[in-house]
Structure 1
Amino acid sequence: MTANLKKVLVVEDNSNDLELTLEALEEYHIANAVDVVRDGAEALDYLYCRGVFEERLPYNPAVILLDLKLPKVDGLEVLRAIRSDEHLKFIPVVVLTSSREERDLMTSYQLGVNAYVVKPVNFYDFIEAVKQLGMFWAIINETPPLDKTPA
């Protein structure tokens, strides 16, 4: 089953939330590989294979778990960049954030987010939420071929 698993990109600046996310993905064998970036600028460098990521193979992740409240470039700007790029716009993006602000929710959906999940405060609820997100987006969901865009 692990041969079918795909890469997950986690964009998270909070060390505790990152540790819990990685633990949930690892414990439930959700992805072959999880790449982590700690701010929005790093996320864009990763996606565009530039800077420290210029040697990265240019394959898109199966899903991006994106926090909104990020240093340097916020998550909404990262989402805006992803959705406006022909090579990135089909990557499923799940906002995984502590923000309950209606403005963030509405803007995320206007920009084309696939799902908006408010981080549970409870440890076990958080682990379960990440497990379910990873299971659906990295394993069950079918994505377009990585090297093809619709005509």
Structure 2
Amino acid sequence: MIHVQAFRHIEILLVEDSPSDANLTIKGFLNAKIANNLHWVEDGETAIEYLRQEGEFADAPRPDLILLDLNLPGLDGRDVLKEIKTDPNLKLIPVVVMTTSTDEHDILRTYNLSANCYVTKPLDVYQFIEVVQLIKDFWLAAVALPRE
């Protein structure tokens, strides 16, 4: 017997406070050859509300992948990562940290908080889009993502 899975878009949550970085990331995923829905929130508190489907996000889809900036206003990315990875309902969602920080302490701390990947954002626009394409190629084309 052959089982055919119904087609489903990959749900991505982008947590990014910089509109220019968010726009570059969105452009990169729009050019993808893989169907995806990208949802953008600008701070850590909103990200947690989205993930817990609270308030205006009551009907928000569960992300298959989270792209998380570290340096966010209010609840920063490290705190968001800790919340995700200690919540039994969220901990299996892969989290790709995307940040400008190259600090070894940030890298180590992020992996100690169970990030799945740490990517340093390039300053060059074309390199930035290329990095987004690499993330897309790996996480959306090569990796089997957990589905709930």
- The TM-score with structure 2 as length reference comes to 0.90
**Per-residue Cα deviation, 1:111-130 (whole angstroms, up to 9, x for no partner):** 11111000011111110100
* Deviating more after overlay: 137-146 vs 110-119: 137-146
**Per-residue Cα deviation, 1:55-102 (whole angstroms, up to 9, x for no partner):** 324xx2111010000012100000000100111111110000011122
Aligned length: 142
Of residues 1, 15, 24, the one that matches 1:20 is 24
Residues 19 and 145 of structure 1: CA distance in aligned 2, closer, same or farther (over 3 Å): closer
Residues 76 and 52 of structure 1: CA distance in aligned 2, closer, same or farther (over 3 Å): same
Preserved contact between residue 8 and residue 31 of structure 1 (Cα < 8 Å): no
Give the aligned residue type for 1:131.
Answer: Q
Of residues 72, 78, 84, the one that matches 2:86 is 84
Aligned: 1:11 with 2:11: no
Tell me, which stretches of 5 or more residues in structure 2 are unaligned?
1-6
Of residues 88, 103, 106, the one that matches 1:104 is 106
In the TM superposition, 1:1-150 aligns within 5 A as 3=7, 5-57=9-61, 60-146=62-148
Preserved contact between residue 64 and residue 147 of structure 2 (Cα < 8 Å): no
Deviation >6 Å, runs of 4+: none
Preserved contact between residue 9 and residue 34 of structure 1 (Cα < 8 Å): yes
Tell me, which stretches of 5 or more residues in structure 1 are unaligned?
147-151
Partner Cα distance (2:16, 2:43) in 1: 7
Identity %: 41
Give the aligned residue type for 2:98.
Answer: L
Preserved contact between residue 8 and residue 138 of structure 1 (Cα < 8 Å): no
Relative contact order, higher structure (CA 8 A, sep 6+): 1
Root-mean-square deviation (CA, aligned residues, Å) is 1.4
